[in-house]
Amino acid sequence: MSSVKADLARPDGGLLDLIKARRSVRRYTAQRIPEADLLRLVEAGRWAPSGSNRQPWIFVAVDDPEQLEALQAFAPGIIGRPAAVIAVCIDGYGNARDDGDEDLPPMDAAMAAQNILLEAAALAIGSCPVLSYDAPSVSRLLGLPEEVRLELLIALGYPAGPVRVPRRRRTMAQVGHRNRFGRPFEGAAAWDGDGPK
């Protein structure tokens, strides 16, 4: 516990490096992902923040080759042949809507998904979020009960070949504003390109 406190008190930039190194990977080797690492990715997901701490996630990790093939038939957004796919789902979606919290489920799912993408990067596992799929067909294939809603698929696998160099991002002045919209940070330009050295 004490080391976590120390890291929070004085971050060393390591997480930012990982955030910037993560890329969507769409070409994978045939190497299977060990169950322990799939569990680790689910662990990363379940430590995400969630609205009112509902922790509404259901994660279905698919790594059986036949089930993967069937899944891909309903998910044109999955490019290449991933070794596994994690379906990020939200339990009790109907209840959340009844509470007037219809914005929460996609937010909660996205928080968990980014945790999974980053932990995958830390394990040298390539990943790609996928939103292009036929939700009813995938839900049926995975046996999801009616109250469990599929929010996002994450394709996973060891990268085949080098991962593309980081894509350029919009400039800091375009996305970062200080105190009021339209007022850039004084030091914004230093973060463009590869960021401050």
Ligand X SMILES: Cc1cc2nc3c(=O)[nH]c(=O)nc-3n(C[C@H](O)[C@H](O)[C@H](O)COP(=O)(O)O)c2cc1C
Distance of alpha carbon 5 from alpha carbon 28, whole angstroms? 37
As measured in angstroms, the least distance from the Cβ of 15 to ligand X is 16
- Out of 14, 49, 77, 187, name the contact with ligand X by CB under 6 A: 77
Distance of alpha carbon 86 from alpha carbon 173, whole angstroms? 35
Distance of alpha carbon 51 from alpha carbon 58, whole angstroms? 15
Q: What is the DSSP string of 53-121?
A: G---EEEEEE--HHHHHHHHHT-TT--S--SEEEEEEEETHHHHHHTT-TTHHHHHHHHHHHHHHHHHH
Binding residues for ligand X restricted to 17-36, rule: CB under 6 A: 23-24, 26
As measured in angstroms, the least distance from the Cβ of 136 to ligand X is 17
Nearer to ligand X, 100 or 162 (CB): 162
Asked if 111 is part of the footprint of ligand X (rule: CB under 6 A), the reply reads: no
Nearer to ligand X, 187 or 193 (CB): 193
- Residue closest to ligand X, measured at CB: 77
Both tokens of residue 129? Answer: 């979020």
**Going residue by residue from 130 to 159, which x/- string records binding to ligand X, judged by CB under 6 A?**
xxx---------------------------
Tell which residue, 119, 98, 106, has the closest CA to residue 151: 106
Distance of alpha carbon 5 from alpha carbon 164, whole angstroms? 34
Both tokens of residue 193? Answer: 């390109």
Asked if 184 is part of the footprint of ligand X (rule: CB under 6 A), the reply reads: no
Asked if 167 is part of the footprint of ligand X (rule: CB under 6 A), the reply reads: yes
Nearer to ligand X, 8 or 116 (CB): 116
Residues at the contact surface with ligand X, assessed by CB under 6 A:
23-24, 26, 77, 79, 128-132, 167
